[in-house]
């Protein structure tokens, strides 16, 4: 397969590095300094199991979305596009995926937030769209190296109970890269569960400027995280998403503990002066709550605070 990874931040870089261990043809889609570094220096990835891999630039092609010439010859040649960029860029990334993919190529979004899968499906059609979530932990240092901090899984689906033949090829590719894929027949539950955990942790840590583990050490913060998560679950239920099988507080606490030393992406974005994904998390939750006439005071407050910090 020819696989393109759209967005090579921490998670995108992790996926790119993992896929480089396979026999598939890999394309990195990035921009600016990150694209230049990938094209000239390759990628350094500190694996969760110890080794440090130096992946040469010859291992993958690089498309710099700010340089038109790098797209030449790449239109319509990819079998799979894995979209990892910021949720605010999903529409742009979906349109780019349509340019890169073959006529029956598939786009998979593993981005944070709500609404990304729906955008992909609208642009490419239901049979060419997949969604999911990723629980591997990663961060990128100032030199561009990716640190694969925690081993998790990639849960993917497309609305069907079982994967179709072409979707099995996606699972096989992720499996061969060591990314630990798992198929879900309940895609919306998977997406909303990940959003629930993100809402419970990311805005709080971004606001107080602390690593994830700090939440557990302060009862008021932990209570706030639980309130935010329960609010998301209630709104999801009203929206037709079955979250009844999730032990909400246990799930949130497990993620806090397993990522206790992580600086969440929202905090990293604020520290770097970049836009956050708050609108695709708390903002989307509040928007959906309004359509059902349900109050969302916790998410509304977190949304307002992070937006204020972004100013």
Question: Domain locations in the chain?
Answer: 2-185, 189-310
| pLDDT for position 263 | 86
CATH 1.10.1040.10, applies to 189-310:
yes
Distant-in-sequence, close-in-space partners of 253: CB < 8 Å, separation ≥ 6: 216, 222
Which superfamily does CATH assign the domain made up of 2-185 to? NAD(P)-binding Rossmann-like Domain (3.40.50.720)
Long-range contacts for 179-183 (Cβ within 8 Å, ≥24 apart)?
Answer: 179/15, 179/18, 179/134, 179/136, 179/153, 179/154, 180/136, 180/151, 180/152, 180/153, 180/154, 181/153, 181/154, 181/155, 181/156, 182/153, 182/154, 182/155, 182/156, 183/155, 183/156, 183/157
For 279-292, the pLDDT digits (tens) are 999 999 999 999 99
Say if residue 140's pLDDT is above 90: no
Do 2-185 and 189-310 show the same overall fold? no
Kindly state the average pLDDT of the residues 204-221: 96
pTM > 0.75: yes
Neighbours of 49 (CB within 10 A): 7
For 177-205, the pLDDT digits (tens) are 999 999 999 999 999 999 999 999 999 99
Look at the block and give the residue holding tokens 């708390």: 282
Tokens of 145: 């190296």
């Amino acid at each position: 397969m020819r696989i393109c990874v759209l967005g090579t931040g921490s998670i995108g870089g992790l996926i790119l590095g993992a896929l480089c261990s396979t026999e598939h043809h890999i394309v990195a889609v990035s921009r600016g300094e990150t694209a230049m570094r990938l094209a000239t220096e390759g990628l350094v990835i500190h694996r969760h199991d110890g080794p440090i891999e130096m992946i040469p630039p010859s291992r993958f092609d690089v498309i710099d979305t700010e340089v038109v010439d790098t797209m030449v010859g790449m239109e319509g040649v990819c079998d799979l596009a894995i979209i990892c960029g910021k949720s605010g860029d999903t529409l742009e990334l979906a349109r780019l995926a349509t340019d890169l993919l073959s006529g029956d190529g598939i786009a998979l979004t593993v981005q944070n937030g709500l609404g990304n899968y729906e955008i992909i499906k609208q642009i490419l059609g239901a049979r060419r769209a997949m969604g999911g979530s990723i629980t591997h932990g990663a961060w990128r240092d100032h030199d561009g190296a990716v640190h694969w901090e925690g081993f998790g899984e990639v849960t993917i689906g497309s609305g069907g109970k079982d994967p179709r033949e072409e979707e099995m090829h996606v699972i096989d590719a992720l499996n061969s890269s060591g990314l630990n894929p798992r198929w879900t027949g309940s895609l919306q539950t998977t997406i909303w569960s990940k959003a629930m955990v993100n809402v419970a942790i990311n805005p709080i840590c971004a606001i107080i400027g602390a690593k994830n583990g700090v939440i557990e050490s302060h009862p008021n913060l932990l209570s706030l995280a639980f309130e935010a998560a329960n609010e998301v679950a209630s709104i999801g239920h009203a929206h037709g998403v079955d979250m009844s099988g999730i032990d909400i507080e246990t799930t949130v606490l497990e993620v806090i503990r397993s990522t206790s030393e992580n600086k969440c992406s929202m905090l990293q974005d604020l520290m770097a002066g970049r836009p956050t994904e708050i609108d695709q998390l708390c903002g989307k939750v509040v928007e959906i709550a309004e359509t059902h006439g349900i109050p969302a005071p916790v998410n509304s407050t977190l949304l307002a605070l992070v937006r204020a910090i972004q100013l």
